[in-house]
Structure 1
Amino acid sequence: MENFTNETIDTKQLPKFEDVELTALHPKYLTVVIINSLLFITILVVGYFALLFFDSKNITTKFSIQLGIATAIVSICILLYSIISFKKKAFAFRNHDVIFRSGVIATNTMVIPYNRVQHVALHETFISRFFGLAEVEIFTAGGSSSDIEIPGIAKEEAENIKQLLMGKIQKQL
């Protein structure tokens, strides 16, 4: 009978993912983010003017000014949040895992070992395709949605990443 041991691990000696140099999203993706935000803001502003136009009898001047200011503030916040969010996203592919960092208020760092990856998908939105960019989605076992979505990668690089991950999956089988 073997002796059971359960040694303590010195957590200070573990490798730190924080020390890994992450790759920022492609600079062209900032343009995509801004265009998407402006499209949403356009819908917001059109809604504001539609409300003023179709319900002008019930809306006071004071309320329309307040609503206009609120719409402007929300629009600026959406644009700023989108830009800051873009700057906070980064990724890295290492020998045994993928790292993705995101988050504006709270930073979220996901580290997924390749042996957990079940499926990889490549997506291009209309606007991203125009700029030659794609998104890599990484799925692990047990989930119906992707665990990591890395947007703003040059399409050729995204295809290479997909091939790398598919190769890692094949080695596991």
Structure 2
Amino acid sequence: MENFTNETLDTTKLPKFEEVQFTALQATYWKVMLINKSIVFSILAIGLFFVFYKIDEILEFKLQTFFVFIFLIFLTILLSRISFKKKGFAFRNHDVIYRSGIIATNTIVIPYNRVQHVALHEGLISRYFGLAKIEIFTAGGSSSDIEIPGIAKNEAENIKQLLMGKIQKQL
């Protein structure tokens, strides 16, 4: 019978994922985000216009609502820009890392041996800019899955092939 050992690891000497050089999303993905937000806010503005048209309330209420709407647009764009700047990904020998977040930074590290499925998606606007999104599905369920948007389509296809190759090696 083998002797069981369970030695303590020196956590100060473990590799740090924070030192990894993350790849930023494609700059044109910011345009895709802006176009998507513009579509949503345009629909909301049209709806707000019809509400204002039907309501015979005081002008002051309409002005206040209009300024709140403009402030929400500004805040949404600002937070989206900060979020865009903080997103990044990295592929290492044994795992994939994805970082995102505005106030709190979320970092997901997925070992390749946990990857079960990989999907590549192109939205209508993303396709126009030559971008795609990689979705990596794991055995851990949706909380451990990641979506990496804003990748050049040819690079996304290469990443998908890399991940599929890693999955095939484990079978």
- Give the TM-score of the pair, scaled to structure 2: 0.96
1:123 aligns with 2:154: no
Report the Cα offset of residue 145 of structure 1. Answer: 7.5
Question: What residue is the counterpart of 1:6 in the other structure?
Answer: 6
| CA offset digits 1:94-147 (Å, max 9, x no partner) | 111000000011100100000000000000000000000000000001425871
Separation of aligned partners in 2, 1:106 and 1:50:
38
More deviation, 96-105/44-53: 44-53
Separation of aligned partners in 2, 1:157 and 1:146:
23
Do the aligned partners of 1:37 and 1:82 also contact (CA within 8 Å) in 2? no
Do the aligned partners of 2:108 and 2:144 also contact (CA within 8 Å) in 1? no
Other structure's SS at 2:50 match: helix
Separation of aligned partners in 1, 2:77 and 2:145:
26
Other structure's SS at 1:156 match: helix
Could you tell me which amino acid in structure 2 is paired with residue 107 of structure 1?
T
Q: Mark the runs of 5 or more structure 2 residues left unpaired by the alignment.
A: none
Q: Mark the runs of 5 or more structure 1 residues left unpaired by the alignment.
A: none
Question: What residue is the counterpart of 2:99 in the other structure?
Answer: 101
Report the Cα offset of residue 29 of structure 1. Answer: 0.6
Separation of aligned partners in 1, 2:81 and 2:121:
21
Matched ranges for 1:1-173 at <5 A: 1-55=1-55, 57=56, 59-143=57-141, 147-173=145-171
Do the aligned partners of 2:132 and 2:149 also contact (CA within 8 Å) in 1? yes
Separation of aligned partners in 1, 2:14 and 2:99:
20
Separation of aligned partners in 2, 1:102 and 1:85:
7
Could you tell me which amino acid in structure 2 is paired with residue 39 of structure 1?
I
- Percent of residue pairs bearing the same amino acid type: 65
Report the Cα offset of residue 27 of structure 1. Answer: 0.8
Report the Cα offset of residue 42 of structure 1. Answer: 1.1
The aligned length equals 171
Separation of aligned partners in 2, 1:129 and 1:166:
22
- Give the TM-score of the pair, scaled to structure 1: 0.95
More deviation, 110-119/136-145: 136-145
More deviation, 78-87/150-159: 78-87
Could you tell me which amino acid in structure 1 is paired with residue 141 of structure 2?
G
Other structure's SS at 1:104 match: coil
